[in-house]
Structure 1
């Protein structure tokens, strides 16, 4: 078998395993919601929040040690062990009878989230530099595994519960466990182990790259493009239901329209990073994120302010008030009355309307320049749902491309520490997925605005863009001082 076809086989196995792992990682989102809805478990709102977050948390915090193990022992050993190990808590989930037993088993099966760090390290050792972006992008398409659970799991749960409403749900974690077990065995029998050249290093030597500021910068980028992606794939459903009064099914469909393209386009992001360079792609990604999140920041709103009024031209007495006219002595003044027929809700851009309200009475004496009718201006912005949806899909696509671009950087700068650096960057990104909804919830309760989460995204996007740009300018000044001096003096 040629080396490239061997590489492709490993890439196929890695992508398949990561897709299934991602589906398992997000299992609680559907399963816990279902169990509470059917009254099988009486978890409180706080307990539900923890059960949704615990697998995300364990999958994030263990990415670094699992990345180190991948560099040290090779991807075949770590991946097959991880897949077989994580099947056990899924089988045991059928015996869970309390919040704590459910939480502990969720923490253990959440370790499938570390599969990302294994796959990144294991995929990159099989490909030459010019193929890295594409290969890691294809592998990263496994993110779309989240859509497998949201599409298939609810239907399966309903089907299993037809005959046994109380215990039918237990079949689902068993199916997930068996799937993990089978893929683990595929790795044992068909994968070939390969380690990076630095695999003889001690743990402290392996951790050395983490002193590099660049690793943390990549981590912050990944907090945005991956962490906020995971957070929004959970947050968009209540967002659409609250702001646009969509049904559960329709809101779920809109949330899937955000998460599915973002996962799938990752491979295209890898191709773009190989062709144009990861930095150029990141400029586009961060720039798009800044612009789109800025547009998404504006909530549905109505502003009422003072508008142009009508003043008396001379002293006199109000002799007549009729509809849209005021007569003072013999002089008539036209009044702009509010048009109630022009009430459109679906406008894309803000709509402004002005009218006047009469403030004087019949037979009242008025002085010159006295206010006869005060002006009122109303600006309405309906934050059109379809425009909102398109912008959300676009930012998801930008983040999908960005996920691949961030990971294209890693083998370029850290060719022998892809597992440990990829693990650390993945850890920071995973924490974004865990903390994101908590931050969004806090912002929503303190501001009362659903769009406050987009203000947070805008700030993070802008910070990433400024940090990256300043780093590039600084490197340019160090590497070619004459060139940067010429730029600065060229007016």
Structure 2
């Protein structure tokens, strides 16, 4: 122990309180100065002078590092209790891992169905539909609404009806939006409101996340839950699967004569080609049937006393349910927003890029892919290094990336814009894994119910950013302010996470 830390621990509480107050005041001053620098630089840049942008960025970065350095001087607790961790039994390891594998595949399918509209909307106007920018952004954002709201009951039913029955049922009913969407997009005369209705119904697929996570967490001991939930979170790969596969399957009659009539799509060159937009939805129907059967015959209900839905809603009285929802609103919301809106952002913002706008469906899938890959790494790192620390790193990178994005929106800036997007999505995936490690740590008895609430409110984080981006594009001509607002929100999340889950004297540090 250093002489400074030894003297600090032996000091009178009044002196340490004074030191703490002084450091907090300095931190508030640093944050205020950063906000002032941000506002001044944005006003200057929007006025046409971008020379100040990078100097201001480096000054703000130095202030941030100075604030992080000040945290070292905060007083430590007088005594750090030694916690003896007992080895938890893991008697049904084989069944647990089999359940995890089936759950991961089924969750990937659910995300593919949930995000099929993000790939469909890019092709609608070229195929004879007539929708404005606002309507297109609403079609990509609306599936998040029902997918978010239903996550609460979808998380609760596992404890009430059993993991196998619940998960098989919610997987099977995804056939409904697939059939409805496939029929709706076959006719360019279909009204916008019908399209919006089926876009909303598609949200039931997004709610499967809560059932899947609640089922997996039952089978694994606490020391492995971060890793298990992280691996299950690889189901987010369904977003990339949808965005990569939809452009391929709409090019031919997958089901032969049963595929229906094609639409005529106009290419940039003026040429036309036949497309089967309905395949973007119909392609998932046989996979849904297979996954439902795998869940029913390959998994079991976890042995536990059924809980009433009302008893599980008590988690709403726990402040950590809402704090974790706030954090997940950022990390998962960023993942959803990037996956849903990035194709349209690329198409609208970089339309004047040298050589024309980049192909949205060639670049957009990589953002959710990197986020998905990083999710199990976040869960594993949270198990090994602490969930609070990993979450802090993830949120810090997201805040830095949000401020940086506002500087890379010129037509020639696409390579840097895409690089920063990838950095933000990697951090979001890392944060998704670490936040879910915190849940069973702070509330092990009702983890399923907490997962439902947290994933519900977190998914709403994917609803508002596309609308904010669309509004900024339509009224301001640039999404810069939307990215700045997201960065400021990330800074508030950083403070909350530090106070409750990373601060050394916090009773819920993890």
Structure 2-normalised TM-score?
A: 0.71
Q: Of residues 279, 291, 295 in structure 2, which corresponds to 1:183?
A: 291
Deviations along 1:91-121, one digit per CA (max 9) or x if unpaired, are 2444435444443333333201111101111
- In the alignment, the residues of structure 1 paired with residue 132 and residue 215 of structure 2 have an alpha-carbon distance, to the nearest angstrom, of 41
RMSD: 2.8
Matches within 5 A, 1:201-216: 201-216=307-322
1:292-331 mapped onto 2 (5 Å cutoff): 292-298=401-407
Tell me, yes or no, if the aligned pair for 1:237 and 1:252 is still in contact at 8 Å: yes
SS at match of 1:245: coil
State the match for 1:245 in structure 2. Answer: 353
Select the structure of larger CA radius of gyration.
1
Match for 1:138 among 219, 231, 236?
231
Q: Does 1:116 align with 2:209?
A: yes
In 2, distance between residues paired with 1:24 and 1:223? 21
CA gap of 1:261–1:93, structure 2 versus 1, over 3 A, is closer
- Tell me which residue corresponds to 2:272: none
* Of 15, 20, 25, the match for 2:114: 25
The answer for unaligned runs of 5 or more in structure 2 is 1-89, 185-189, 264-274
Q: Which of 227, 233, 250 is the aligned partner of 2:333?
A: 227
- For 1:365, the equivalent position in structure 2 comes to none
Aligned to 1:418: 447
The structure 1 residue matched to 2:489, chosen from 436, 440, 460, is 460
Counterpart CA distance in 2 for 1:251 and 1:172 is: 17
Distance in 1 (alpha carbons) for counterparts of 2:300 and 2:507: 43
After superposition, the C-alpha distances for 1:336-359 in whole angstroms (9 at most, x for unaligned) are xxxxxxxxxxxxxxxxxxxxxxxx
CA distance in 1: counterparts of 2:439 and 2:109, whole angstroms: 24
Supply the distance in 2 between the matched residues of 1:55 and 1:234 (Cα, whole angstroms): 10
Alpha carbons of structure 1 residues 174 and 46: separation in structure 2 relative to 1, 3 Å: same
The alpha-carbon distance between structure 1 residues 145 and 159, as it changes in their structure 2 partners (threshold 3 A), is: same
The counterpart of 2:155, out of the listed 33, 58, 67, is: 67
Pair 1:386–1:75, CA change in 2 (3 A): same
Distance 1:449 1:172, change over 3 A: closer
CA distance 1:444–1:420, change in 2 (3 Å): same
Q: Distance in 2 between matches of 1:478 and 1:147?
A: 39
Distance 1:190 1:113, change over 3 A: same
Is the Cα–Cα contact under 8 Å of residues 113 and 178 in structure 2 kept in the other structure? no
Residues of 2 paired with 1:472 and 1:79: CA distance?
Answer: 31
The counterpart of 2:262, out of the listed 152, 155, 165, is: 165
**Structure 2 partner of 1:358:** none
Aligned to 1:174: 282
Give the superposition deviation at 1:27: 1.0
SS at match of 1:223: helix
Q: How does 1:69-468 map to 2 (within 5 A)?
A: 69-96=157-184, 97-160=190-253, 164-166=261-263, 168-194=276-302, 197=304, 199-241=305-347, 242-243=349-350, 245=353, 247-298=356-407, 384-468=413-497
* 2:252 counterpart SS class: helix
Deviates more, 1:409-418 or 1:287-296: 287-296
Runs of 4 or more, structure 1, over 6 Å off, are: 477-480
Alignment partner of 1:194: what SS? coil
Distance 2:469 2:121 in 1: 21
Query: Is the contact made by 1:60 and 1:427 (CA closer than 8 Å) also made in structure 2?
Result: yes
* Structure 2: distance between partners of 1:206 and 1:51: 33
1:473 to 1:248, Cα distance in 2 relative to 1, 3 A: closer
Q: For residues 101 and 386 of structure 1, do their structure 2 counterparts lie closer, same or farther at Cα, with a shift above 3 Å needed?
A: closer
Is the Cα–Cα contact under 8 Å of residues 368 and 425 in structure 2 kept in the other structure? yes
Q: Distance in 1 between matches of 2:250 and 2:197?
A: 22
Counterpart in 1 of 2:8?
A: none
Q: How far apart are the structure 1 equivalents of 2:106 and 2:502?
A: 40
Q: Does 1:38 align with 2:38?
A: no
State the distance in 1 between where 2:151 and 2:296 align.
21
